[in-house]
Structures are given as C-alpha cells and as structure tokens.
Amino acid sequence: MTEKTVKQLRELLDRKEISAPELTKEYLKRIETVDKSLESFITVTADKALAAAEKAQERINRGETAPLTGIPLAIKDNICTEGVKTTCASRMLENFVPPYNATVMEKLDAQDAVMLGKTSLDEFAMGGSTQTSAFAKTRNPYDISRVPGGSSGGSAAAVGGDLCAASLGSDTGGSIRQPASFCGVTGIKPTYGRVSRYGLVAFASSFDQIGPIARSAEDCGIILNAISGSDPHDGTSSRNAVPDFNEKIGKGMKGVKIAVVKEFFAEGVDDEVRNSVMAAIDTYKAMGAEIVEASMPSLKYAIAAYYLIASAEASSNLSRYDGIKYGHRSDIVGSYNDLIIASRSEGFGDEVKRRILLGNYALSSGYYDAYYGKAMGLRQKIREEYADIFTKCDLIITPTAPTVAYGVNENIDDPKKMYQADFCTVTVNIASLPAISTPCGYDSKGMPIGMSIVGRMWDEASLIAAADAFEKQFSRIPAKL
C-alpha cells in the first residue's frame, strides 16, 4: 500500500477499499520501522495525522473528496505549520512553534490532506546533502551509506523510502530536483511566483520556491494543482490563472522540439550519468520529438553568480536571528553585542555561517559592484540565453546532477566541490524558470540517475506531460529498505 502513487491511492480511498485512517497507520508503521536508519523526519505528528485522517474519512463518506483528501504527505521543516515545530534543521529555531500556517499548508488543509510530519533538510536549506542538519542527517533509501541530496533530502528520502505518498520541498538552487534525482523520485520546481512563499522560512527570497516531490510526474501535477495560485500575503506570487497542470498528459511528444545544451554534458559530468540522459533523449526522439543542439556560454559563470546572489540575500534574511528578536538566545552574560555574537555563534552551523560571511562580504562597501553587481549582470545574461534557446525549442533536457549520490562523508569538508555540483540546477532558479527531475537510469551500483526537463515560464504542464511520457517508457526500480 505504501508504494502506490497518489493517483492510485485516491482511487482506492474513493472506492473505500481502504480508509484514510488505515492508510495513515500503514505509513506511520513504516516510519516507525524504517526511519531509524533513514532519518528523513525531524518531527513525526502521529496523533495529528490520525485525527486529520478521521476528518478526511468523514469527507470521503459524504462523497465530497478533493484530489488530496486523506492522502498522507510529509512537509519540509522550513515550511511553517501551526502548532507544530518548524526548526529549519537549526539550533537557532530548535523550539520555534509557528502560530500560523504557510499558505501551502492552508491549501492542503482545505483538501483535508494528512500531514505525517516534518522532514529534515540542510540547515536553513543551505546545502546539497542534508548532512548539515542539526537534528537528522538523512540517508539515501537506495544505500544508507550515501547522502539523499539536499536541501530537501528528507522530503525526497521519505518518498523514495515509501514513508509518505508524496512531500513538499523547497528549491533555491536545485533543492527539490537534486535530491529527487539522488533518491529515484520525481520533483518539480515551479516557475518563480507560481506557489506562494508565505510561511516558507526565507533563504534567498528571489530564488526560493515551494514544490512537490512524488513517485510520478502526474502526482506532482496533482499536488501543484492544489498549492498554486495568487496570495495577498506574498507580493511576489503571480496572478496568472492556474491551469490543470496535468491537462497535456497523453498528448504525445511528436513535433516537440527539445534542446540539448552542450555545456551541461561537458567535463565534470559522470559518464554513466551522461549516457543515461543521452539514452533518455534517444527515447524522446523515438517518440517523435525533434532534438536541437544549443549552447549556453554563460553556464561557466553560473555557480559564482548564484552563490554570490543567494549568499547576499541569505545574509540579509538571517540577520533577524539575533537571540533578541528571534531565535536561540545564549546563556552567556555580557553586553548587548556579546549576547548577539554568542547567540548566533551557538545557533548557526558552519555552512550557514560561511554563507552569511560570503554574503556580507559581497554586499560590503568597496566590493558591491565588483561582486554582487557583476553577479546580477550575469543573472540577466543567463535569462537572455534561455530566452534565445526557447525561440528555437519547447523544452531543454539536462542531467539533474553531474553524479549519483555520494558517500555521507565524501564531500562534506569541501565546500567548493559541493557548490560546483550544483551547476546543472542553479540556472533555472537564476532565470525563474520551471524544471522537473525524473529518474532516467541507474548506475552500475544501482544508484538512481535523474534528468531535468526545463521549460518556459508558466508552462509547467508541458514539463509534466514530457516527464510522464518518459515515465511510461521507463521501469523505475524502487528502493528496498
């Protein structure tokens, strides 16, 4: 039962072959059994989940179901949940209990979805391994000696390990897509502004976006239908009409032009990853798609531009956590400045401190134009290069990550290597575009390989349809925990 898709569970619940409380208990039982080794959850909300399931079943019995009624989901622990701790996997927010819900939670509650708990992440969503979490250093469901990716590693591992039907993550520079790739599941980063950020604890406000992780592209569309839309609480949320994101599924790939950008397949991409993605491109070609060669010369500068802008925004967003207005307060007695220094030193981990320092440096007098100003110029250049490619094609296919999941201790002490591993994903956030990652192969040791499909702004439906078309041709191998 815990291996089924959201769509399959909806049918079972509506036919009353299983009840929402029974389904919830199945997932809670699996969490209790499996999550000791996986560590995907920071907080499990068993009592609340069972109460929500009972409420959902009443709605099902009345015949008033919504697509997510009674569906057990996991929520990344940087999304505010009223009455349930939201820690951002940081000592700084270890005891923070939000008095309100994020807008996405209000939308899920309106459909009577069931929240199983809050999943782990890299501290304040800064990282690509979920090993910077202060509370739960999540492991990969395909091999617990490896990382699940990050920062939404807990959310992806929970889906890949069959601990929930689907989950919500957040994506700042690949934080939904990269862990989805590492954990053998599907994850979509919507167009910036498609989903409200109200209640998402900010990392880099011009990049952050909430999105779903699930077992299929169609499931991602079902969840995206539920959480999208304009929000008066978020001035950056779009007023564009929300379509049915699954409306293009089944229409085929004939005549669709897909770009292959050569820089995404250059040095640094593992041969097995490159071969799997190229084989997927051949599959699309066999389905009638037209393959177009393209180039993005600015890709070599993308990592530098992304980390300068993201760190600058992070240093500003995290300045509020001083132990006085917000966050952990040190017990050290001293001056006002001593209290702030001690509180931030104790509350933040090394990676968060590193990015705050980098951001403050980039924004400081004398360096602003040389670093932040140039990075913003590159942001515009990258947007222009994407716009040019989309005059000639409909979609772009790239590897999601240059390698498969690596060992838990392999890259953790090499920040530069960790940052460089994001070059396949960050340009999508820089350009505010939508992208979906779905499994396209496995390496010689059975670890999942993901490919990303990038589309035009507001055209998530084409991404979901393209990913779904491939998924119907591809045999996904589930993790065996």
Angle at 219 between CA 474 and CA 169, to 5 degrees: 105
CB-based burial of residue 458 (10 Å sphere; 0-12 exposed, 13-18 middle, 19+ buried)?
middle
CB-based burial of residue 331 (10 Å sphere; 0-12 exposed, 13-18 middle, 19+ buried)?
exposed
SS (HEC) of 129-158: CCCCCCCCCCCECCECCECCCCCCHHHHHH
User: What are the catalytic residues?
Assistant: 76, 151, 175
**Peptide bond preceding 151 in cis form (omega within 30 of 0):** yes
Q: Decide if 313 contacts 361 (C-beta within 8 A).
A: no
- Enter the DSSP assignment of 77: T
Q: Decide if 298 contacts 431 (C-beta within 8 A).
A: no
- Enter the DSSP assignment of 319: G
At 109, list the tokens. 């509650």
Tell me the C-alpha distance between 227 and 67, whole Å. Answer: 12
Q: List Cβ neighbours of 71 (8 Å cut-off, separation of 6 or more).
A: 6, 9, 10, 13, 113, 114, 165, 166
Report the phi/psi class of residue 184: left, alpha or beta, with left for phi > 0 and alpha for psi in -120 to 50: left
Three-class DSSP category at 415: helix
Q: Decide if 88 contacts 130 (C-beta within 8 A).
A: no
Give CA 90 to chain center in angstroms.
18
- Phi–psi pair at 321, nearest 5 degrees: -85, 90
Residue type, 310: A
Tell me how crowded residue 3 is: count the other CB atoms within 10 A of its CB.
Answer: 11
Task: Work out the angle between the directed axes of helices 46-61 and 20-38 (0-180°, nearest 10).
Answer: 150
The upper half-sphere exposure of residue 453, i.e. CA atoms within 13 Å in the direction of its Cβ, equals 30
Strand partners, 143: 140
Tell me the C-alpha distance between 189 and 177, whole Å. Answer: 7
At 71, list the tokens. 């569906």
